[in-house]
Amino acid sequence: MATGRKGSIAKRLTRMNMLVSATVLLLACTGFVAYDLATFQATLVRNLSIQAQVAGSNSVSALTFDDPSAAERTLSAFHLAPNIVSACIYGPDGKAFATYRRDSSARIPSNPQIVAGEEENHWREHDDLMLVHEIVFQGQRAGFVFIQSDEQNLIERMKHYFTIALAVLVLSLIVALLLSHFARRSIAEPVAQLARVARTVSQEKNYAIRAVREKAEGELAELVETFNEMLEQIEERDHSLRTAHNELERRVEQRTGELAAANKELESFSYSVSHDLRSPLRSIDGFSQALLDDYGDTLDTVSHEHLKRIRAATQKMGLLIDDLLNLSKVTRSPMQREAVDLSSMAQSVAAELAKQDGQRQIEWVIESNVQAHGDSRLLQIVLDNLFGNAWKYTSKHQSARIEFGLKRQNGSSAYFVKDDGAGFDPEYSARLFGAFQRLHGAAEFPGTGIGLATVQRIVLRHGGRVWAEGAVEQGATFYFTL
């Protein structure tokens, strides 16, 4: 079992706890500082407004009696406020009447404006806060007061808050790290122990191992118990499977012995058929022929016919015995797989069939370079039977066409032998490959009904399948795969 690429669950749990704690603290500190700064700025504007109102009230008489020095004395009180950079009293015409500067670099605006309908206006310029307040005396505008304040207090306040937030963050992370250590003992270690047990079980296939629920509590304890129950069920199932496997092996060994005994009996039966049964048949056929030779002149026509039928029956029985023996050999003989040129083999089979009756008009269509991998001796029997079938069932036609080739069928390569002869009823196609199963009478087409059964046995031994397609008087096509 592969271990995690990002470390153990304990380390990931610690990192997650630290990350969550840091994120929450940062959000809380950011919100707190933002709220306090907004409140502080509103307070600063309000204080400047009050200072402007006081300065304006104290400057009314100076504006009324055109006494700039008195107004300047009023503004000079701002030197007690270190945040005031500059101040100015303007007349009702907007011209500067009296000024105050903390230093010579302080700038005084030439003609500050107030939005129509308002008594006061403030704005930010660079890092300073500007405020203009209207001076009203007896309902008439007497002038304006301008005050410029820096944000040094705001900057100091921000530094102070940053220091506090950093200290709180560090302290909180230390506390979170300690809490993670306890959480690691109560959560991560039981899970890690469970993972080690699972890895050991997977590697050693030892289902007798159990996880220990020493430090597990709550859902983790339930998880450990469930895991142990699962291991117990797997152990019982594994034991049952081993028992069933041993029983299956015992039965297979028993069935193999029975099969070997049955094969031995079959071999004995084949020997009896080929010797014990064949000898009486030869005697019946031989003595029947002797009767015809010795007493043929004294026998009537009916006796002649009876003896001919006896001989035909014994000869047919001999053919059946030969076919059964061949079928048995096909089933039991060892296979030797090799590359086989089926096209060349098909050409040879066609040439041998054509020699049997040179008068028949047969069009042979054999695809070239058709290769296969199998037992050449058994594949020769397959083509002999399939071509022999096509030759036999086209014999009633004046001319015939027999084809051999390779075709893609259901996603795999299928070899085929096709003819345009008598064909068969598709309803009875399942009977084609059974031993002694015939869809045509022996008088119409001779044969024992063993050929296609032999073909099927050989194809099955090659791990393939065989099937046929056809219709009455429309020919038949036999397919097989290897």
d(C-alpha 120, C-alpha 230), whole Å = 79
User: Which residues does 236 contact at the CB level (< 8 Å), separation at least 6?
Assistant: none
Count of beta carbons in the 10 Å neighbourhood of residue 462: 20
Distance CA 460, CA 380 (A): 15
Both tokens assigned to 112: 């500050």
**Could you report the per-residue pLDDT of 102-113, keeping only the tens digit for each?**
887 777 887 777
Residue 452 banded pLDDT, cuts 50, 70, 90 = confident
Task: Give tens-digit pLDDT for 27-74.
Answer: 887 887 788 778 878 888 898 899 989 998 999 888 888 899 998 999
DSSP class of residue 441 equals -
Average pLDDT, the chain: 80
Q: What percent of the chain has pLDDT over 70?
A: 81
> Given this model, what pLDDT does residue 89 score?
92
> What confidence tier does 146 reach under pLDDT thresholds 50, 70, 90?
very high
Which stretches within 333-430 are classed as H helix? 342-356, 376-393
Between CA 213 and CA 225 the distance in angstroms is: 8
Q: Is the CB of residue 373 less than 8 Å from the CB of residue 338? A: yes
- Which amino acid, residue 242? R
Q: How far apart are CA 283 and CA 82, in angstroms?
A: 145
Are the CB atoms for 331 and 459 separated by under 8 Å? no
Q: Is the pLDDT of residue 380 over 80?
A: yes
Better-predicted residue by pLDDT, 208 or 181: 208
Which of 420, 425, 427 has its CA nearest to residue 475?
A: 420
What average pLDDT score do residues 456-482 get?
90
- DSSP code string of 154-171: HHHHHHHHHHHHHHHHHH
- Spatial separation of the C-alpha atoms in residues 25 and 176, rounded to whole Å: 11
Q: 6 pLDDT exceeds 60?
A: no
Cα angle 406, 411, 416 (rounded to 5 degrees) comes to: 25
Work out the angle at residue 319's Cα, subtended by the Cα atoms of residues 277 and 375, and round it to the nearest 5 degrees. Answer: 110
Closest alpha carbon to 53 in 137, 150, 151, 154: 137
Contact call for residues 128 and 148 (beta carbons, < 8 A):
yes
The pLDDT tens digits of the residues spanning 383-405 come to 988 998 898 888 888 889 999 99
Residue tagged 């990931």 (tokens)? 12
Q: Give residue 458's region: left, alpha or beta (phi > 0; psi -120 to 50).
A: alpha
The β-bridge partners of 99 are: 88
Cα 396 from Cα 121, distance rounded (Å): 120
Q: What's the Cα-to-Cα distance from 394 to each of 174, 365, 423, rounded to whole Å?
A: 98, 15, 9
Question: Would you say the C-alpha torsion 134, 137, 140, 141 has a positive or negative sign?
Answer: negative
| The two structure tokens encoding residue 459 | 């194809």
Q: Whole-angstrom distance between the N-terminal and C-terminal Cα of the chain?
A: 42
Q: 383, 424 in Cβ contact below 8 A? A: no
Distance CA 213, CA 226 (A): 11
Q: Name beta bridge partners: 124.
A: 129
Q: How confident is the model at residue 373 (pLDDT cuts 50, 70, 90)?
A: very high
Q: Is 106 left (phi over 0), alpha (psi -120 to 50) or beta?
A: beta
384, 386, 388, 393: CA torsion to nearest 10: 180
Residues 71-103 have pLDDT tens digits of 899 989 888 888 888 999 998 888 889 999 988
Strand 361-366 to 399-409 pairing: parallel
User: What is the token pair recorded at 6?
Assistant: 């990002």
- Model pLDDT for residues 198-236, shown as the tens digit of each residue: 777 777 777 777 777 665 556 667 777 787 788 788 878
In this predicted structure, what is the pLDDT of residue 138? Answer: 84
Most confident of 270-279, 308-317, 336-345: 336-345
292: pLDDT confidence band, cut at 50, 70 and 90? confident
Predicted pLDDT at 345: 94
Q: What is the pLDDT of residues 296-316, one digit of tens each?
A: 788 888 887 888 888 877 776
What pLDDT does 403 receive?
A: 94
More reliable by pLDDT, 130 or 21: 130
Euclidean distance between CA atoms 467 and 36, whole angstroms: 91
pLDDT score of 199:
79
Number of neighbours of residue 230 by Cβ within 10 angstroms: 11
Residue 273, pLDDT above cutoff 80: no
